[in-house]
Amino acid sequence: MAQVPQTFFDALAVRTWCGLALESLGRAREEIDAINVYPVADGDTGTNLYLTVESAVAAVEAVFTAYDVGRPTLADAARAMAHGALIGARGNSGTILAQLLRGMAQVLAADGETAHTDGSGLRLALRHAADSARQAVAHPVEGTVLTVASAAADAADAADGAEGDDCGAVARVAYEGARAALAATPGQLAVLERAGVVDAGGRGLVAVLGALVETFTGEAAPVVVSGAHTRVEPDAEECADAPDVSGPAFEVIYLLEAEDAAVDRLRERLDGLGDSLVIVGGDGLWNVHVHVDDAGAAVEAGVEAGRPYRIRITHFGAGDVHTTGAERPPRERAQRAVVAVVPGEGLAGLYGEAGATTVLARPGEPPASGELVQALRRAHAREVVLLPNDAELRHTAAAAAEQARAEGIRVALIPTRSAVQGIAALAVHEPDRRFDEDVVSMTSAAGATRYAEVAVAERQSWTMAGICQAGDVLGLVDGDVAVIGTDVTTTAETVLDRMLSAGGELVTLVLGDEAPETIAEHLEARVREAYLAVDTVVYRGGRQGALLLIGVE
């Protein structure tokens, strides 16, 4: 069915473009993953691009939902698109795409006497996007997504006025320029020529530009041929730096709140630590991507520059092409694995030490189903136990499980509603016993664990315990507000007493970064004095949203 075309760039055009781009990447994801041979043949460029655009779509939809009457402005929608892509960017290719979208948004949302809503504005946006993306990469290399982006802008510039000045004409010319540049990438990078494929990140950008053509013409863009043959291997990543056969062993990614001057210093520091450095963003929020041997040093550099969060560290693995310069055989699937959603970096470390693959969920930023599917694939096992650890993620987790099952992975979803229930489930996990028995045992342990949290109210609202005001301390037991107080430690003690009044053998406390320093000591003493034969364990959760998580089993 043909898409009803947009005639100029407005908020609805941004929304349409993002939606069509997500659909296009969804159709091409496996193909793009398969042709990802540069510089690490691990196969997840298509997935990374899809997740990046999925985050942009969610941000744009949120802006539209906020308007009960009317619709957002072009500036509102463009900025939302750019911000969503920035915070959701995955991998090197996704990070670069986020900067391309940000560059376009800076033109589309610019204040001035003339709004950039026509073909001329689109031409300016494409040029600024290509230039800003190239500046974000420490050492640009031709034959990558950067080349394709520049070619799209060059084609649009060269056709100024010749093809008409409406958005559809400019989008079509830019798409054709990008498609021609993509076809030429094997001649620019030897690794692509040997594999008989085009650049994976560039292929993804062509899909996004094809969606732009469809947005303004209502017609689907021509089919793109990716290469003479393809090769599927797990977990790849498009990169804009030259391949290094003795390259670093870790990929480090994080969001960073920092000033421009601090980011300039960070860029120099990380460039000396490793390669594949891309830092995108601005206005105090940045997405940092680098390959290093010393992952700790890369994170410490971020701490010195500002406040890093949503930190992801991936080990390329012994025998990886990135670390040896030789192709490796496909990695054998494990029999069983656990994938868990966790609310803070501290718990991510705890779950990781127990062997789980983790997905970090920041407050207000729940993972999308595509991110959970990617984690299920990354676990690289025939059988996977999925712990959502949040009641509101049950539908998202169920959708991800269904997608993974369609790909041949046996997935069991345990409906954990809190990270402390996940800890209880993980404690009884035994990968050597039968899958069904393991799932039953983990489900039983999670179900036998009551959970609570202590948090601060953000606004006045009605609760099961009465009306709370902004700034009140709330004690939630099994998801419902049970206590409203003014002191964190006192409220936590009241919650703990209520939970232990029904009995218990083990108390688990997970402290957030903003919890009082003495609260753990106080609660441990309370358990020792009032509840005989009850043990207490304490973990540091990091920036987990709640001040304190409590589990009683």
Domain 9-217 has CATH 1.10.3720.10: no
Residue 228 binned pLDDT confidence (cut-offs 50, 70, 90): very low
Q: What is the pLDDT of residue 324?
A: 38
243 has a pLDDT exceeding 90 = no
Of 507, 517, 506, 503, nearest to 547 by C-alpha is 517
Percent of the chain with pLDDT over 90: 52
Q: Which two tokens stand for residue 549?
A: 């998580």
* pLDDT tens-digit map of 265-300: 999 999 999 888 999 999 899 999 998 888 888 888
The predicted model gives 201-209 an average pLDDT of 94
Sorted by where each begins, the domain ranges of the chain are 9-217, 250-315, 334-448, 450-552
175 has a pLDDT exceeding 90 = yes
Q: Judge contact between 64 and 15, C-beta under 8 A.
A: yes
Q: What is the pLDDT of residue 529?
A: 92
Q: What is the pLDDT of residue 488?
A: 95
125 has a pLDDT exceeding 50 = yes
The predicted model gives 131-158 an average pLDDT of 93
Phi, psi of 437 (to 5 degrees): -65, -40
1 has a pLDDT exceeding 50 = no
What's the Cα-to-Cα distance from 373 to each of 41, 398, 452, rounded to whole Å? Answer: 20, 10, 28
Q: Please name the residues in contact with 414: beta carbons below 8 A apart, sequence gap of 6 or more.
A: 385, 386, 387, 425, 439, 442, 443, 446
Q: Which two tokens stand for residue 339?
A: 């994938």
Of 293, 283, 266, 315, nearest to 138 by C-alpha is 266
446 has a pLDDT exceeding 50 = yes
Please name the amino acid found at residue 101. L
Q: What is the pLDDT of residue 275?
A: 85
Helix (H, G, I), strand (E, B) or coil at 355: coil
Q: In what order do the strands lie in the sheet with 548-552?
A: 480-485, 473-477, 450-456, 548-552, 506-512, 535-542
Q: What is the pLDDT of residue 325?
A: 40
What's the Cα-to-Cα distance from 403 to each of 23, 24, 174, 229, 426, rounded to whole Å? Answer: 16, 18, 34, 26, 23
46 has a pLDDT exceeding 50 = yes
SS (H, E, C) 376-398: HHHCCEEEEEEECCCHHHHHHHH
Helix (H, G, I), strand (E, B) or coil at 491: helix
Residue 245 binned pLDDT confidence (cut-offs 50, 70, 90): very low
* pLDDT tens-digit map of 81-107: 999 999 888 888 999 999 999 999 999
244 has a pLDDT exceeding 60 = no
Q: Judge contact between 119 and 164, C-beta under 8 A.
A: yes
CATH number of 250-315: 3.30.70
Q: Judge contact between 275 and 139, C-beta under 8 A.
A: yes
Taking the C-alpha atoms of residue 6 and residue 175, their distance in angstroms, rounded to an integer, is 17
Taking the C-alpha atoms of residue 164 and residue 125, their distance in angstroms, rounded to an integer, is 17
Task: Please identify which residue in the block is written with the tokens 């094809």.
Answer: 210
Percent of the chain with pLDDT over 70: 89
Q: What is the pLDDT of residue 347?
A: 85
CATH architecture of the domain with range 450-552: 2-Layer Sandwich (3.30)
Q: What is the pLDDT of residue 225?
A: 62
Where are the alpha helices (H) located in 393-539, listed in sequence order?
A: 394-406, 419-427, 435-447, 488-500, 519-530
Task: Please identify which residue in the block is written with the tokens 């929020």.
Answer: 285
* pLDDT tens-digit map of 488-525: 999 999 999 999 988 899 999 999 888 998 999 999 99
CATH number of 334-448: 3.40.50.10440
What's 186's DSSP letter?
A: G
Residue 162 binned pLDDT confidence (cut-offs 50, 70, 90): low
The predicted model gives 194-213 an average pLDDT of 93
User: Could you report how far apart the first and last alpha carbons of the chain are, in Å?
Assistant: 55
Q: What is the pLDDT of residue 333?
A: 78
Of 48, 4, 50, 43, nearest to 24 by C-alpha is 50
Residue 319 binned pLDDT confidence (cut-offs 50, 70, 90): very low
Q: Judge contact between 362 and 543, C-beta under 8 A.
A: yes
Residue 420 binned pLDDT confidence (cut-offs 50, 70, 90): very high
17 has a pLDDT exceeding 90 = yes
| Alpha carbon 45 to chain centroid, angstroms | 13
Average pLDDT, the chain: 85
What's the Cα-to-Cα distance from 202 to each of 36, 125, 191, 196, rounded to whole Å? Answer: 10, 18, 15, 15
Q: What is the pLDDT of residue 233?
A: 38
Helix (H, G, I), strand (E, B) or coil at 63: helix
Please name the amino acid found at residue 434. R
The predicted model gives 445-464 an average pLDDT of 91
